[in-house]
Structure formats: C-alpha cells, structure tokens
Chain A
C-alpha cells in the first residue's frame, strides 16, 4: 500500500525553527519528485516547495523562499522540510505529496495525512 506519513509538527515561537519529515512506503521513493503543500486553518491549499526525484533541483513559493529548505534522503525514503524564521502566517497543516508527471499531466497523486505547525508566542 502506497503511503506518506508526516511528522515533526508542533508549537513554535515566531522566529523559531522546525523540521518536518515525510516517510514514504509502498513505492519506489527515489523515482518520484516530492512536494510540500500547506493549508491554513479553514483556508485553502498553498504549494510550498518541490524537490526533484534525484535531489538535483528544488523550487519554492515566494512566501517561504530563503526561510525554508526542502531536502530528501532516498536511502531512508524520507522527505524533509527545514523551516526557520517562522512567522505566525506559517501556521498551517503541512502535507507532503507525490508528484506524478507523464504525457497525460502534472499533478499530485498521493498525499500524506498532514502535520500541524502552529507559530505562536
């Protein structure tokens, strides 16, 4: 069964740091690009960051560029999001999601259950 499981969320003060993890199972993790997507309470979805399957490239939303770093360890089937300089507006449920890309489309085809990050003093 293909699965993504996030962890690492919690309460942190503004300006603080946190590292999220996403462990993949049931599929060949190293063959897929991976995303982080967040959802603020009661609001919509916002793409945060993407890492290519081989770790060679990453892309970030403007709102987190320079503060967040996405990286992966294919030997551990794990995706990470290192968050620093956290702001109140970073409070959200953070999902990891698998990128699917083929001639038929580019989309997120597998999602984790999410982990909640709360930035508050």
Chain B
C-alpha cells in the first residue's frame, strides 16, 4: 500500500501570501492517479486538482498542482480568506485508494 506523507502539518500564513504544500509517496505514483482536496470545518471534502495538475471545474487558477513520481505539490499563489482549510492529497493504485494525513492552512 502506498503511504502518502504531507508536510507541513500546519502552515501559518497571511492572506495574500503564497502557500506551498507537499505530498510525498512511499513509492512511485502515476500522475494520473494523484488528486488534491480541500476540506473546511463541518463540510465534505471538495475536489481541487486531479491528474496531479488539472484543476477541477470551478476551481480558481490561484490553485495549481505539480509533481511526479513520489513528490507532488499543491500551490496556492495568493491566499484568499476562503482558502484557509485542510488540504489532502490522495492516490490510487492496485485497487487501493489512500489519503495523506492532511495539511492545515491557518491564518497567521
């Protein structure tokens, strides 16, 4: 089973700043099978990025994904107040789907 490790656990930033979130896999993941989700308190997760770098419908272009192999990154170019949330990466492989433990982006 592929283990996804996200870092940092918490990111304290101010609105307008750039956020860089990391997701590292214990073994290689096909880019097609790497996605990112945003979750706010009391809400279900929301798809942000799929295929490592494709934005989901309605997702602003300040969100971008990159990476390949074992290292993937979610970047929020300029944080808006509504972007403070928890972010999860997720992968699929051999009929098993796994999530990272999440990175919380909080207001500094």
Contact = CB atoms under 8 A, between A and B. Distances in A.
Bind each other: yes
Interface of A: 35, 44-47, 50, 59, 61-62, 95, 100, 103-109, 111-114
Sort A-B residue pairs by CB-CB distance and give the 3 closest, nearest first.
A105-B51, A111-B44, A105-B50
A119 to B, nearest CB: 21
Given A44-B101, A105-B32, A108-B35, 11 more contacts: A44-B100, A45-B88, A46-B99, A47-B96, A100-B50, A104-B51, A105-B52, A106-B32, A106-B92, A107-B90, A107-B92
Contacts of B102: 44-45
A108 B45 contact: yes
Contacts of A44: 88, 99-102
B107 to A, nearest CB: 19
A107 B102 CA distance: 17
A82 B46 CA distance: 25
Interface string B16-48: 000000000000000011110100000111110
A45 B50 contact: no
Given A44-B88, A45-B45, A111-B44, A105 B99 contact: no
Q: Considering residues A45, A46, A109, A111, which has the most beta carbons from chain B within 10 angstroms of its beta carbon?
A: A45
A109 B56 contact: yes
29 contacts: A44-B99, A44-B102, A45-B88, A45-B99, A45-B102, A46-B99, A47-B96, A47-B97, A47-B99, A50-B97, A59-B95, A103-B32, A104-B32, A104-B54, A105-B33, A105-B35, A105-B50, A105-B51, A105-B54, A106-B32, A107-B35, A107-B50, A107-B90, A108-B37, A108-B45, A108-B47, A109-B50, A111-B46, A113-B43
A104 B50 contact: yes
Given A44-B99, A47-B99, A106 B33 contact: yes
